């Protein structure tokens, strides 16, 4: 799994040609069809398990997917815009300004256009975005390796342990769709589109900082390499102006929302204060270390050992991605998103969900599975789909958020 990636220049979206954009889109969709179909099958497996469990327990599966935890906050923003707060018994305040505006805006727009409820609109956005994300993930995997690897990569994302969130009215699918296509655009030198997608992601989740960092790091490394060639500055700027422009576009969405919160609260740091009130401030990993230590020294130390093993597995997978020599924008995004997920003081159980958009972590496994006989690979993915569906059902029927 540590061998270097050999990009397939014909995979994903077709290269520019004399054919029309519509024809190129049809060819791209036809190439991605197996990935989309198998991804959908994986998610439908999880939905079927949830439907059976909710039928047996007398609960409503669609309600669990559209009206729990963060999805309720997004719908409230969609209905009444910002301004809602909850004061907890300990005196802390949870404000809806912690939630970025793109998903609520899409929910509101779709609800009014189709005359459907906000909950239904939220699921429609999330499910549609999940297919767009699976397509983008396939395109990245196919370009970096081959068609078969791209298909398996998309399916692996659909059977991720917390993949049930991909079927909820959450922002994970919307963000991952922007991230996957941004990385594809960066790999194919479509920098203006990449920067625009980073702006979109920046209106979706705070973790867009990982995408902004990935584009920025890639641009700096590329420009330094060009200047050390050596090449005249003017020539470099003429050659790389699209990269520079895309990189400058990237943070506008994220900065725009932070500025909006600052103006609304008349405090330039208001957004960070609000996130701190939610317990989502950056602490350098202190909360994570404390949680691990508490479990290691608690009444069930095996739980702590299991968490340490999970962290070791994560570190090993990141190392495999490095050894695989994934392209710089892909690797920078992955590492940045993993770090953001670990150095915050957020609820520990949410960290796997926060890392779910880091789909390149699954690329070493996709490369390995692509070498297996098709029947063996399919049965493995089917087993993972069942396990993921069962885990998601248990979580959704529980009390804590993912």
**pLDDT beyond 80 at 306:** yes
**pLDDT beyond 90 at 285:** no
pLDDT per position as a tens digit, 247-281: 999 999 999 999 999 999 999 999 999 998 888 87
Mean pLDDT lowest among 16-25, 184-193, 376-385: 16-25
**pLDDT beyond 90 at 135:** yes
**pLDDT beyond 80 at 296:** yes
Q: Provide, rounded to the nearest whole percent, the portion of the chain with pLDDT above 90.
A: 73
> For residue 6, what pLDDT band results from cuts at 50, 70 and 90?
low
The residue ranking higher by pLDDT, 14 or 78, is 78
- For 27-63, letters b (16+ CB in 10 Å) and e give ebeebbebbbebbbebbebbbebbeebbeeeeeebbe
In a domain, 227, yes or no: no
**What mean pLDDT value characterizes the chain?**
91
Amino acid 18: pLDDT: 52
**pLDDT beyond 70 at 104:** yes
In a domain, 223, yes or no: no
In a domain, 94, yes or no: yes
Amino acid 9: pLDDT: 44
Amino acid 15: pLDDT: 45
- Count structural domains, the chain: 1
Amino acid 16: pLDDT: 44
pLDDT per position as a tens digit, 29-70: 899 999 999 999 999 999 999 999 999 999 999 999 998 889
**Cβ count within 10 A of residue 365:** 16
**pLDDT beyond 60 at 365:** yes
Mean pLDDT lowest among 70-79, 157-166, 339-348, 386-395: 339-348
**Residue 209 CA to its chain's centroid (Å):** 12
DSSP-based three-state secondary structure for 82:
coil
> For residue 291, what pLDDT band results from cuts at 50, 70 and 90?
confident
In a domain, 52, yes or no: yes
CA distance 62 to 21: 37
Domain span at residue 141 reads 21-189+281-396
The structure's pTM equals 0.92
**pLDDT beyond 80 at 19:** no
Amino acid 113: pLDDT: 95
Mean pLDDT calculated for residue range 109-120: 96
Q: For the purposes of burial, counting CB atoms within 10 Å of the CB of 296, is it exposed (0-12), middle (13-18) or buried (19 or more)? A: middle
The residue ranking higher by pLDDT, 23 or 204, is 204
In a domain, 129, yes or no: yes
In a domain, 118, yes or no: yes
**pLDDT beyond 70 at 162:** yes
In a domain, 212, yes or no: no
CA distance 48 to 112: 30
> For residue 14, what pLDDT band results from cuts at 50, 70 and 90?
very low
Q: Which two tokens stand for residue 298?
A: 């608690």
CA distance 276 to 42: 36
Amino acid 1: pLDDT: 47
H or E stretch including 87?
A: strand 85-87
In a domain, 226, yes or no: no
> For residue 13, what pLDDT band results from cuts at 50, 70 and 90?
very low
pLDDT per position as a tens digit, 310-364: 999 999 999 999 999 999 999 999 999 999 999 887 777 788 899 999 999 999 9
């Amino acid at each position: 799994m540590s061998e270097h990636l050999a990009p397939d220049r014909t995979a994903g979206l077709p290269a520019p040609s004399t054919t029309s954009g519509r024809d190129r889109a049809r060819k791209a969709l036809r190439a991605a069809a197996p990935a989309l179909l198998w991804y959908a099958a994986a998610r439908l497996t999880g939905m079927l398990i949830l439907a059976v469990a909710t039928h047996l327990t007398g609960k409503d599966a669609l309600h669990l997917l559209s009206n729990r935890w963060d999805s309720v906050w997004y719908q409230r923003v969609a209905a009444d815009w910002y301004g809602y707060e909850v004061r907890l018994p300990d005196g802390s305040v949870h404000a809806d300004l912690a939630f970025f505006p793109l998903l609520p805006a899409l929910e509101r727009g779709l609800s009014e256009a189709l005359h459907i409820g906000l909950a239904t609109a939220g699921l429609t956005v999330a499910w549609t975005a999940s297919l767009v994300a699976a397509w983008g993930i396939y395109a990245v995997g196919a370009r970096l390796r081959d068609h078969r690897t791209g298909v398996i990569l998309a399916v692996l994302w659909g059977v991720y342990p917390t993949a049930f969130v991909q079927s909820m009215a959450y922002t994970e699918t919307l963000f991952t769709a922007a991230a996957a296509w941004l990385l594809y655009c960066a790999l194919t030198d479509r920098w203006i589109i990449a920067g625009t997608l980073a702006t979109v992601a920046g209106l979706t989740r705070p973790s867009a900082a990982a995408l902004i960092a990935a584009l920025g790091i890639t641009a700096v490394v590329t420009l330094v390499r060009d200047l050390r060639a050596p090449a005249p500055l003017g020539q470099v700027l003429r050659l790389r102006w699209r990269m520079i422009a895309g990189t400058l576009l990237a943070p506008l969405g994220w900065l725009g929302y932070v500025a909006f919160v600052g103006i609304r609260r008349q405090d330039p740091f208001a957004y960070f204060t609000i996130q701190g009130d939610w317990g989502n401030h950056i602490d350098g990993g202190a909360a994570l270390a404390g949680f691990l230590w508490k479990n290691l020294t608690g009444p069930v130390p095996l739980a702590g050992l299991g968490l340490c093993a999970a962290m070791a597995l994560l570190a090993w997978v990141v190392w495999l991605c490095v050894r695989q020599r994934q392209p710089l924008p892909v690797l920078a995004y992955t590492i940045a998103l993993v770090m953001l997920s670990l150095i915050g003081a957020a609820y520990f159980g949410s960290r796997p969900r926060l890392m779910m958009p880091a789909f390149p972590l699954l690329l070493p496994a996709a490369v390995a599975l692509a070498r297996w006989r098709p029947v063996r690979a399919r049965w493995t993915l089917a087993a993972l789909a069942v396990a993921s569906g069962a885990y998601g059902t248990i979580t959704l029927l529980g009390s804590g958020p993912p």
